[in-house]
Copies of this chain bind each other. A is one copy, B any other.
Amino acid sequence: MLLFQIDPHSGVPVYRQVMDQVRYHLAAGTLAPGRQLPSIRELARSLAVNPATIVKAYSELAHLNIIEIRHGRGAFIHPDPPVMPADERRARLRQLTNQLVVEARQLGAGEKEIRDALEQTLNEINPEPPET
């Protein structure tokens, strides 16, 4: 199973595609907290990009407390994800939904259509961590 896959022609920066995929897999449960990520060189080689590009992706993720990098050891999904105060989280959520709704309405989508899309996505992204 190929965890990482990028499109060099998509216009979105490689390092950001990598970041997005790590975050997606974390949200979807494909990558559980504590799990080791591919090494910088290995991932760079398999994606055919310069190692520094992966360094950037990993560094940003580490700065977001999403992964943890240990010198000489490797990079790992952060064991205990950062907790954000409920209020702050609420504010951020509103910001995100606001963006969503503004653009959705621009597309001509009705309320139901928006809700449905959300439901589908919620359904698709396995929310509950698999109880091993």
Interface locus among A2-10, A23-31, A45-53: A23-31
Asked if B93 and A104 make an inter-chain contact with CB atoms under 8 angstroms apart, the answer reads yes
A117, B114: Cα distance in complex, Å: 13
Indicate whether A102 reaches chain B with its CB closer than 8 angstroms.
yes
- Digitize A89-126: 1 where CB-to-B-CB distance is under 8 Å, 0 elsewhere: 11011101111111111111111011101101110010
Contact of A101 with B122 at beta-carbon distance under 8 Å, contacts A93-B113, A114-B93 already known: yes
Indicate whether A1 reaches chain B with its CB closer than 8 angstroms.
no
**Which of B23, B94, B102, B117 is the one whose CB lies under 8 Å from A103?**
B23
Asked if B102 and A100 make an inter-chain contact with CB atoms under 8 angstroms apart, the answer reads no
Query: Nearest-CB distance from A117 to chain B (Å)?
Result: 4
Asked if A111 and B97 make an inter-chain contact with CB atoms under 8 angstroms apart, the answer reads no
Interface residues, chain A, with chain B CB atoms under 8 Å away: 20, 23-24, 26-27, 66, 81, 83-84, 89-90, 92-94, 96-111, 113-115, 117-118, 120-122, 125, 127
